[in-house]
Structure 1
Amino acid sequence: MVIIEYSELEMLIVRVREISGFDFSGYAKPSLLRSTSRYLTKHAMNLKELFVYIEQGGRAVYDLIQELTVNYSEMFRDPDYFKKVKTEVFNYLDSYPALRFWVAGCASGEEAFSMAILLKEAGLQDKSLIYATDLSNKVLTAAREGVFTLGNIRTFSENYLQAAGTGSLSDYYHVAYNRAVIAPELRKNIIFSLHDLTGDGVFNEFQFISCRNVMIYFSLELRQKVFRLLYDSLSLLGFLCLGKRETLRYSGIEQNFKIIDSELNIYQKIK
């Protein structure tokens, strides 16, 4: 693993911002340091060579940004969370004539597909639209394809059963060329699109926003900025869901929410 210092990372952040306009300064430094070291190791280059490489601009710096912002996910990650959404949240949303969901930081689509399955099994799919967004075009391309390894599917299937799925995960995909392909029926109500939580603005009003395991990569100041965006995007009495290691505490908007589940970080906007 190539090791770099914090001072070197700061120089890289400045140069990326100068070349591309993308600002990593609000990202958590330890996480960014690890991601940069992995990038250098993967591409067999040192920091000096990386600076020379990104001076090309265009595709070079774009590829760096894409790789440093890719996050890992899996279908029905934290099964207890999906069980709670199904029992506590969907009962409330059932009365709405139409529903808009936003999965922010959707990675390769795992959570969006999980939500689509949950909605289908709850009888809500036909009146629901899921917007799944990410900063990375690379992962969005993979999400639109909806193709996973069979090894991943085994893990996803275990999660699905623990999340109290009513059938079998195999009901929602078919196998082709030793890969699992998500069924078109499941993808029809999902819109995958590019969106930068740290720089882009409100683009719709939602009854449900999932932004799980994303805030952990941001500094407090940047988290507060993103929380304001999520708040402005959420309808009154809509639900905001965060990851297990995340919280609304110190967000600047916590007084506007009721806690539905403090352990799973599910909140409802009340003002």
Structure 2
Amino acid sequence: MPTTRDQDIELRLLIDAIFHKYHYDFRGYATASLKRRMGSAMTRFGCSTLSQLQDKLLHDPSIFPPLLDYLTVQVSEMFRDPSYYKALRDEVVPLLRTYPSLKVWVAGCSAGEEAYSIAILLREEGLLERTLIYATDINTDALKRAEAGVYPLEQIALYTQNHQKSGGHSSLSDHYTAAYGRAVFDKSLRKQMVFSDHSLATDSVFAEVHLVSCRNVLIYFDRQLQDRALGLFSEALCRKGFLGIGSKESLRFSVHREAFEDFVPQERIFQRRSEA
């Protein structure tokens, strides 16, 4: 029976193997979260130890794409935490209106629910046509699903409730077509989006943006990787630009805390300081 120390060693070796063979860097992800997800992956791939999973991974590259779904969090919903989107609508959008054009970065977009939520919000506020939304993730399969904009119809009732609670001015059904048990969101929304592979662990800033929304991603990082990601967001944001993070996330202990000031603190929305 492997000891906890043995399992920790196996996990480090597995993560190192993924980095060296597939060039995905999970070395800064929180250990407890990785352990839980790799435990589920071991069951999926019929392995009794992480060492067995590593052996399969090194000798069978077809294992990696499905394993990536365990390593990256794929749980989301449209207008998740509606009060966050209500705060964006009521407090942030009036200031975004002052810019002739806008760029928004949705980091860790998964299958695209957050990106479409922001696109719909901006359309309702008359800003989408002058906005470019960068939706990024390290999981290329998730990005393909995001770009398709297709979601199970059974999820739409929840999405609709969230949208209404967020202060939506339209019906969510105005933005998708339902057929064969699926909801396909309008191509006109995707015209304003760029879906791209980007790693907060290894990649650099690619554009200056007015809003970064990265929700429920930092909680899976260790402190060092959180600081790296927040440094990227600070660097990407224009002066007085906005950062939104998850309800269980914080800037309190980050080395970049002084780069931001509270804007809507109860919704974890911050504004980059002019002098940052």
Common fold, TM-score beyond 0.5? yes
Instruction: Indicate if the aligned counterparts of 2:154 and 2:181 stay in contact, CA closer than 8 A.
Output: no
Report what 1:264 is aligned to: 267
Provide the C-alpha distance between the structure 2 equivalents of 1:29 and 1:169, rounded to a whole number of angstroms.
38
TM-score by length of 2: 0.93
Report what 2:48 is aligned to: 46
Instruction: Indicate if the aligned counterparts of 1:20 and 1:57 stay in contact, CA closer than 8 A.
Output: no
The unaligned stretches of length 5 or more in structure 1 are none
DSSP-derived class of the 1:263 partner:
helix
Q: CA deviation at 1:226?
A: 1.1
Q: CA deviation at 1:71?
A: 2.8
Instruction: Indicate if the aligned counterparts of 1:70 and 1:139 stay in contact, CA closer than 8 A.
Output: no
DSSP-derived class of the 1:106 partner:
coil
DSSP-derived class of the 2:267 partner:
coil
Alignment of 1:57-72 (within 5 A): 58-72=61-75
Picking from 257, 263, 267, the partner of 1:254 is 257
Q: CA deviation at 1:185?
A: 1.7
Picking from 100, 107, 115, the partner of 2:118 is 115
Provide the C-alpha distance between the structure 1 equivalents of 2:64 and 2:188, rounded to a whole number of angstroms.
37
Picking from 167, 177, 193, the partner of 1:174 is 177
Report what 1:85 is aligned to: 88
Deviation per CA, 1:207-261: give whole Å up to 9, x if none: 0000111100000011111111111111111001110011111221111212011
Q: CA deviation at 1:184?
A: 1.2
Report what 1:145 is aligned to: 148
Give every structure 1 segment of 4 or more consecutive aligned residues whose post-TM-superposition deviation is greater than 6 Å: none
The unaligned stretches of length 5 or more in structure 2 are none
Provide the C-alpha distance between the structure 2 equivalents of 1:80 and 1:174, rounded to a whole number of angstroms.
26
Provide the C-alpha distance between the structure 2 equivalents of 1:184 and 1:127, rounded to a whole number of angstroms.
16
Deviation per CA, 1:193-216: give whole Å up to 9, x if none: 110011000100000000111100
Q: CA deviation at 1:62?
A: 4.8
DSSP-derived class of the 2:262 partner:
strand
Report what 1:209 is aligned to: 212
Q: CA deviation at 1:16?
A: 2.2
Percent identity over paired residues: 40
DSSP-derived class of the 1:55 partner:
helix
Picking from 210, 223, 226, the partner of 2:226 is 223
DSSP-derived class of the 2:118 partner:
helix
Report what 1:239 is aligned to: 242
Q: CA deviation at 1:176?
A: 1.5
Picking from 192, 195, 199, the partner of 1:196 is 199
DSSP-derived class of the 1:231 partner:
helix
Provide the C-alpha distance between the structure 2 equivalents of 1:246 and 1:126, rounded to a whole number of angstroms.
31
Q: CA deviation at 1:56?
A: 2.3
Single out whichever of 7-16 and 53-62 deviates more from structure 2.
Answer: 53-62
Paired residues, number: 269
Q: Does 1:25 align with 2:11?
A: no
Amino acid at match of 2:147: R
Deviation per CA, 1:75-133: give whole Å up to 9, x if none: 00000000000010000010100000000000110000000110011010111110000
Provide the C-alpha distance between the structure 2 equivalents of 1:91 and 1:150, rounded to a whole number of angstroms.
33
Amino acid at match of 1:14: D
DSSP-derived class of the 1:91 partner:
helix
Q: CA deviation at 1:49?
A: 3.1
Amino acid at match of 2:151: F
TM-score by length of 1: 0.94
Amino acid at match of 2:53: L
